[in-house]
Amino acid sequence: MEQVYKDFTASIMNAYKFFETYANVDKRSTDNITLYFMRHAKANRELPDYPLADEGIQSLQTPKFIEQILRINPDIIYASPTLRTMQTAEEVVKIMKLYRDKEVKIKTDDRLLSEESMDTIGVYKKLLKK
Class of the CATH domain delimited by 2-129: alpha beta
In the predicted model, what is the mean pLDDT of residues 77-96?
A: 94
Q: Domain spans of the chain?
A: 2-129
- Note the pLDDT of residue 14: 43
Burial 79-90, CB ≥16 within 10 A → b, else e: bbebbbbbbbbe
**Which SS3 state, helix, strand or coil, does residue 70 take?**
helix
pTM over 0.75: no
Q: How confident is the model at residue 36 (pLDDT cuts 50, 70, 90)?
A: confident
68 vs 16: CA distance, rounded Å: 20
- Supply the pLDDT for residue 70: 95
Mean pLDDT of 110-124: 70
Count other Cβ atoms within 10 Å, centred on residue 56: 20
pLDDT of residue 15: 41
Bridge partners (DSSP) listed for residue 78: 107
Integer Cα distance of 52 and 66 in angstroms: 17
